[in-house]
Amino acid sequence: MNRRAFTFGLMALATPATAKTKPRAYQGAEIVEFATPEKPGTVIVNTEQRVLYHIISPDSAIRYGVAVGKEGFDWAGIARVGRKVAWPRWTPPAEMIRRKPELEEWRYGMPGGPKNPLGARALYLFDPKGDTGFRIHGTNEPSSIGSAASSGCIRMLNEEVSELYEQVKLGTKVIVL
């Protein structure tokens, strides 16, 4: 796997691509140097760079490409993984159905499976008040990785979210910047 150096400071991660620099196409997960005071196991999402880091040691992480929330649907904060589900049921929130009336048929939920927008696995993010409504989940739209395409959730390739799902425990700290 490729190695790249990144220094972590909660608000100062690697320099994002500028408008003049076209980001390289996503080549898959890679182990990278990543200095952080966070404990191994922690998940850090940099929404500006559209990457997720799963900390594996005090100085390294697995870096995954992700899709993040569209403008107006983004979220940042500190949460914990409060629930993990394989092939989760997806129920669009009422406000999403108002924006997209064609989703009415799924008001009571879409069963898990390849056509389900949550993909193969979902990690449900909770804060001290309870379920945030935000998830780290798979996608049936792999071309969305690297973009701001979701209604706030963090999307990953199905095979990569399945790998993360196996590694992450309930209670894992998740930082979304």
168 token code pair: 């992450």
CA distance 118 to 136: 9
Per-residue 3-state assignment (H helix, E strand, C coil) for the chain: CCCCEEECCCCCCCCCCCCCCCCCCCCCCEEEEEECCCCCCCEEEECCCCEEEEEEECCEEEEEECEEECCCCCCCEEEEEEEEEECCCECCCHHHHHHCHHHHHHCCCECCCCCCCCCCEEEEEEECCEEEEEEEECCCCHHHCCCEEECCCEECCHHHHHHHHHHCCCCCEEEEC
Q: Active-site residues: which are they?
A: 137, 153
List phi, psi (to 5°) of 106.
Answer: -105, 15
